[in-house]
Structure 1
Amino acid sequence: MTPTATWKRVLILLVCLWGMIAALPNAFYSRVETHNDAAAAVQKADGVATAEQAADLTLWPDWLPSALMPLGLDLRGGAHLLAQVQVEDVYKVRMDGYWPEARDALRDIRDQVGAVRRAPSPEDTLRITISNPENIQAALAAVQKLATPVMTLTGAGASDITVSAEGADIVIRLTDAEKTATDDRTMQQSLEIIRNRVDQAGTREPTILRQGSDRILIQVPGIGSAAELKSLIGTTAKLTFHPVVSTTTDPGANPGPRNLLLPARNQQGLYYIVEETPVVTGEQLVDSQPAFDDRQRPAVSFRFDSSGGRRFGDYTANNIGKLFAIVLDNEVISAPQIQTHIAGGAGIITGQFTVEETTELAVLLRAGALPARMEFLEERTIGPELGADSIEAGKKAAIIGMIAVLVYMVASYGMFGWFANVALVLNVIILVALLSAIGATLTLPGIAGIVLTMGMAIDANVLIFERIRDELREGASPHRACQAGFERAFSAIMDANITALITGFIMFWIGSGPVRGFAVTFTLGVITSMFTAVYVTRLVIELYMNRRRPKTIVV
């Protein structure tokens, strides 16, 4: 056989060597996982390690790779939730935001429109009544200036709102294009916030995916129960800052129109009546950290962005001496009196907090507020013992499948079958190394993809060996037959694997959950089987043929 170029030999050997080293941590999974957890904790603590963490760090050498194949929910156990986001909640928030802007726009032409008040309306509609309906067109023109274009593929050129007149009322509604864009933003924001909250909890390899127009699939391996996961992501941590109208001890007091009656979190029996429209919201927060106030009591410091800081500063400058309610999830956690103008958009939340509560509150505020409520349609808890059973079943399937393939190849092709078996073992090792390197989560369908890959890897060798047999029947020498076998079988192998790759890409693109898990291992397995079947097997056979130079071979 024509010798392979030296650089190709070195490259093939380096890939195989890398595969064996990179896959090695998975053979000591629990030890390496404990080492990795300790390393992450030490890094988070700025290099300070406890005695237990220092002991855990010694479980695996730092100079060896430590990347593992993350185990999916069906293998590790954990919690599964399917949530539906109530995207309509955001419409009310949008309408509440338009009210002060529309009121200010009409204030400039008050001599024409007269008195302006907000009338009752559905949550996705803003209805404004003016006392001089004969000038309704001037009012419409003023409010219409609030409209802005919607920058979406389907709604290019459309406005975000429609403004119409109904009698003495100006009616503002969101357009269909804006509702679609708002729904997309709401889902993206919800996905990001859920991901942040799950990451803050330190869980491993969560799966958080959008399903359909308004649903989110959440799978978190290693967490105790679905209830614990719901508690983690269902905490809205919605922070708002409201002007205080008055206080009361009557839980049934009428707060009046456009006002809210909210309880004080740490003062039993005390209620605050606050304006419904907040001055600033937690969405304008850029940072929050646990801190201490002037009396060394636990507190939470916060900082707004430029827009929120400007509004916060303007309000405090104009309302010195008045109470200002800090509201978290419809509870007043603090209502300090504004002593002075607070410029720069920074402040501090005080109250009867513990250090642990301030840390938790700061984390929740940094993670952000969910833009809309979530309704949990499906919830499941998968115990770790079920995951262990799945792992054991997957191991047995993989081992039995590999043994069956190894035996078949030796029985069918003799020594050349052993050569193919070397390539098969290396194929599985390199596949595991790749999955570990890219952090692809291994699921039960993923194990099925690995088992299927073993059969496909041998399929390429079968094509090569059968072609060698044909060449030997036609009278070719052993060297020439092996050379021709690899060269003439290559096109068939390439065609078969390209179609398999296309199938794998489509499954990953269109599928979700288990289908994607299968598609990842299947696609990577096709690539590794191409490498081992064509190049590794060829190199092994080439070394044998050129060193032994047999006169006859049996394939």
Structure 2
Amino acid sequence: MQARTRWARVLFPALILLILTAAFLFSRVWPLTAYVKKGLDIAGGVRLVLQGEPTADTPVTRQAMEDAARVIERRVNTLGVSEPNIQLEGQDRIVVELADVHDVERAREMVGKTAVLRFVGPDGQEVLTGNDVERAQAVQDPASGNFVVALSLKGEGPKKFEEATRKYLGQPIAIYLDDEMISNPVVQSVITGGQAQIIGDFTAQEAADLASLINGGALPVKLNIIENRSISPTLGQAAFQKSLQAGAVGVALVMLFMVAIYRLPGFLADLALIVYLFLTAGALIAIDAVLTLPGIAGIVLSLGMSVDANIVIFERIKDELRKGTGLRSAIDVGFHRAFAAVADANLTTIAAGLVLQYFGTGPIKGFGLTLWLGTAISFFTAVTLSRWLLVLAVNTGWFGKRSLFGIREEVQA
């Protein structure tokens, strides 16, 4: 027995066992879907549409809306939301989609507040604004145990605050956020060093949120929430489970079809499909991508591309076998002749997916990502992995009958 045959007879069953074991572990014991980030339509969350409202002092411009979107993004980052979707819509609207948000009211408050901070003396004179604040931080006062917001001032802020505390010594300096008084402390002494505090009846979360609003900066324009839609995690999870079930049924039917029509090559193609699903899920986890329902559609479509590539290749192999070509030669010729057509189809789909991801918005981007990523992976599994498994199977010497490749054996008279 040749060394190649001996190695093939050891390696081939070992690979089959490895793939099937991995399929069980990564679908039942440690499901990869649990580690993939879910989008708004799966994990639930909130979708807000904010419209700019022009005033006499602040007209709504494209630049102002872009600045507002950046301020909202800084605020949203403090919520710990995975991959928030913040985009401009038209000239005066911003769409904010926050997935897997548990405290919806807090998210709305953080996104929609203008957050104009002002320190005002008893005579109505403005002492400081949010522009004078370099950094805000929620801390616990060791003396009282209450939570306060500590401010570090910048630029002319320390000088202005020192002059104000000297001027209003023994008098209150009111602190306003969006024209709402949040604190009215009495100046006990002249404050130098560029440090200030906002004292109020804050919880730890309220103090942290106020500090985040100040750090994020005030919105350059007033924004009104014109659409406010919440998706419950239960509803999103139900849709996700139904999509997975539909995908599982579709994959099972495809696998049965491949085995029924192409026998051994179809079975090996099914194993390659399993590897494709693992690699796709692993890639989504590795790049920290967010999976949405349109993204699942992209994965299913790229899976179809993989099956289509296998069908084209296996039909070429069957053509060669009908001509009387040997198994190994038929495999080499079949893959070679089908490669150009398979490559063209996959490359055009990858290009389309990249265009959708780059120029699309919202769910379209997720669909484009999974489409090109899944197609690239399926091209590897359908062309490279399937061929390697097929050659390895033939090298074992166990599968010499042409009927195992979907070809009827000719009966000699």
Same fold, TM exceeding 0.5? yes
Deviation at residue 548 of structure 1 after TM alignment: 0.9
User: Which residue of structure 2 aligns with residue 188 of structure 1?
Assistant: 70
**CA separation of 1:514 and 1:350: change in aligned 2, threshold 3 A:** closer
Check if 1:442 corresponds to 2:318. no
Structure 2 letter corresponding to 1:186: A
Matched, 1:213 2:123: no
TM superposition shift of 1:434: 1.4
Q: Does 1:331 align with 2:180?
A: yes
Farther-moved stretch of structure 1 (220-229 vs 401-410): 220-229
Q: Structure 1 residues 222 and 496, CA, compared in 2 at 3 Å: closer, same or farther?
A: same
Cα distance change on mapping 1:180 and 1:17 into 2, 3 Å: farther
Tell me if 1:547 matches 2:401: no
Aligned residue for 1:420, secondary structure, equals helix
Structure 1 length normalisation: TM-score? 0.62
In the alignment, which residue of structure 2 is the partner of 1:79?
46
Q: For the Cα contact (< 8 Å) 2:40–2:98, is it kept in 1?
A: yes
Where relative contact order (Cα < 8 A, 6+ residues apart) is larger, the structure is 2
Shift of residue 80, structure 1, vs aligned partner: 2.0
- Aligned residues with identical type, % of pairs: 33
Matched, 1:401 2:335: no
- Superposed CA deviations along residues 126-166 of structure 1, whole A, max 9, x for unmatched, are xxxxxxxxxxxxxxxxxxxxxxxxxxxxxxxxxxxxxxxxx
One-letter code aligned to 1:241: F
Structure 2 residue aligned with 1:424: 273
Which amino acid in 2 is paired with 1:211?
E
CA 1:498–1:310: 2 relative to 1, 3 Å: farther
Instruction: Give distance in 1, aligned partners of 2:26 and 2:210.
Output: 38
Partner amino acid for 1:465?
F
**Alignment equivalent of 2:210, drawn from 353, 356, 361:** 361
Larger mean Cα displacement after TM superposition, 428-437 or 529-538:
428-437
SS in 2 for 1:279: strand
Three-state SS of the structure 2 residue aligned to 1:449 is: helix
AA aligned opposite 1:548: G
Tell me if 1:123 matches 2:57: yes
1:66: Cα distance to partner? 10
1:356/1:545 Cα in 2 relative to 1: closer, same or farther (>3 Å)?
A: closer
Among 346, 351, 354, the alignment partner of 1:505 is 354
Q: Report deviation, 1:123.
A: 2.3
Partner of residue 465, structure 1: 314
Aligned residue runs from structure 1 range 315-326, under 5 A: 315-316=164-165, 323-326=172-175
Letter in 2 for 1:349: I
Gaps of 5+ in 2: 407-413
Q: TM-score, normalised by structure 2?
A: 0.81
Residues 228 and 430 (structure 1 numbering): CA distance in 2 closer, same or farther, change over 3 Å?
same
Question: In the alignment, residue 187 of structure 1 is paired with which amino acid?
Answer: A
Report the equivalent of 1:309.
Answer: 158
Q: Residues 329-358 of structure 1, C-alpha deviation per residue, up to 9 Å, x if partnerless?
A: 313333445565533321222345566654
C-alpha contact 1:478 1:552 (8 A) present in aligned 2: no
Unaligned 5+ segments in structure 1 are 33-64, 90-121, 125-173, 246-273
Letter in 2 for 1:198: L
Cα drift, residue 441 of structure 1:
1.7
How many residue pairs were aligned?
393
CA spacing shift, 1:242–1:337, aligned 2, 3 Å:
same
Q: Does structure 1 residue 68 correspond to structure 2 residue 35?
A: yes
- Kept in 2, the 8 Å contact 1:288–1:365? The answer is no
Structure ID, larger Rg: 1
Deviation at 1:321, TM superposition (A): 6.2
Quick one: which of 190, 210, 219 aligns to 1:370? 219
Cα offset for 1:320? 5.7
**Counterparts of 2:282 and 2:204 in 1: how far apart (Å)?**
44
Query: What's 1:230 paired with?
Result: 108
Alignment correspondent of 2:409 = none
State the distance in 1 between where 2:139 and 2:362 align. Answer: 38
SS of corresponding position for 1:213: coil
Q: State the AA in 2 paired with 1:472.
A: L
